[in-house]
Chains A and B, each alone.
Chain A
């Protein structure tokens, strides 16, 4: 046994409850940094933004599917935003629509923002960002695997994390959790 016994004097009295005071539920608002980012986003996207919101320091902006490449391009070029990294791509299946969230980071300026694109589930198709960021290739392949979203311009949408020949898109809400056949 290598563990030494606790010294006697360390056994200080402990507070009775280990739970702290109740907390206030914060509203969904942007903080100062988030406001700055949101302002820069508004400048960069102008009329492309359909809807916007955000929480803490991550504002989000919804753009139309056709405008995706143009919006990303202006985010990259905008002198105030200077997005330099595609942090991640999240897809959310809201059943009536599939929402793509592009997490755009600007490490130089410290901005973080989400770019949202809604896709109709029957024609889930978006432009690929592989020309802008190499990382987009794998994110898009994964999204293609799990949600069946087609990315126009991605040279290789072969299965990445599912095996070849897997049928269905397990990320979708309609995909059953249990009753599919094991291969």
Chain B
């Protein structure tokens, strides 16, 4: 008697993360793969959940800023800015103009640093080793400037409710000008090396395409949404701070693929540099902090403020009960919402594409998990 065994092929579950080098932190996605084809993807998050929102309810307004530093730890100043703007709206404060200029300069430089990091890590996701070194080199210049202005390289706690902590160092303007020229050269160098590289084009063009209705339905914002063809930029559509004084371009893509998402960020690097230069031209001497009580105690009420982070549209919903601690702080983290778009993008993807698509979303897990 012969024993007959029947064999059937099953899809393989491939667990990517939380210790996978291409998941940018402690992100985990479970890929169902059929050979090299990705059939389905299930993202799992929460490995870095620190309860920032709960913690914020037990800190004073000034202390909450430090928690925001640690959300998107690649673009700290943008995060500080959005919380301070929310608290200021609640209190009805407008920071002095010089303070606003300093905020915008720092925020745009931080956006630049974040995009440089993205370009480098994205290249390394795709197997190119060199751009990350160039990216870090340029980011290092920006970090050095931040260190001389805020005293810290990453967790600045510099933007405060009502302005900024203190005035910039006396050599700030010439230094930033020199820095902008250096970084411009660096970005151009990376751009020349990577953007039109044939292998890079082959890996990113037409990969991870997302159309506008799906992108909107998933809540995709920032460069990802603009790559799909929606000219939505908070700085443009709901101008705040000194953005109305600046002239700049909002790059908009057409195809919504990985290459578009990458190239939007490259173009934004140039725009950020241009904005920084304009701010330096316009900035005048003056106070940097609004006159207000030392301890912020906003009146009872609630406010929803959103702003353009490097990764997308960050929102802060702030409820005050009239005490010196916020009653509720809720962040709309752009990376969290962009991750929802991961699944629609993964249609017809290969395993290698999964890495390319995840990289093009540019997530920061500190913000996803809070």
List residues of chain A with CB under 8 Å of any chain B CB. 2-3, 6-7, 10-12, 14-15, 17-28, 55-58, 84-88, 90-93, 101, 103, 107, 110, 112, 114, 133-135, 137-138, 146, 159-163, 170-171, 173, 175, 177
Contacts and interface: CB of A to CB of B under 8 A. Distances in A.
Q: Please classify the interface of chain B as helix (H, G, I), strand (E, B), loop, or mixed, using the class held by over half of its residues.
A: mixed
B313 interface: yes
Contacts of A18: 166-167, 287-289
Interface residues of B, number: 66
A145 to B, nearest CB: 8
B33 interface: no
Nearest to A107: B232
B290 A19 contact: yes
Contact of A10 (B170, B214, B292): B170
Contacts of B49: 161-162
A138 B370 CA distance: 14
B223 interface: no
B340 A137 contact: yes
A23 B332 contact: no
B332 A161 contact: no
Contact of B317 (A14, A28, A90): A90
A75 B214 CA distance: 18
Interface in B80-115: 89, 91-96, 99
Contacts of A170: 51, 54
B46 A19 contact: no
Contacts of B61: none
Contacts of B46: 159-163
A128 to B, nearest CB: 14
Nearest to A83: B216
B306 interface: yes
Nearest to B174: A10
Interface in B20-61: 45-46, 49, 51, 53-55, 57-58
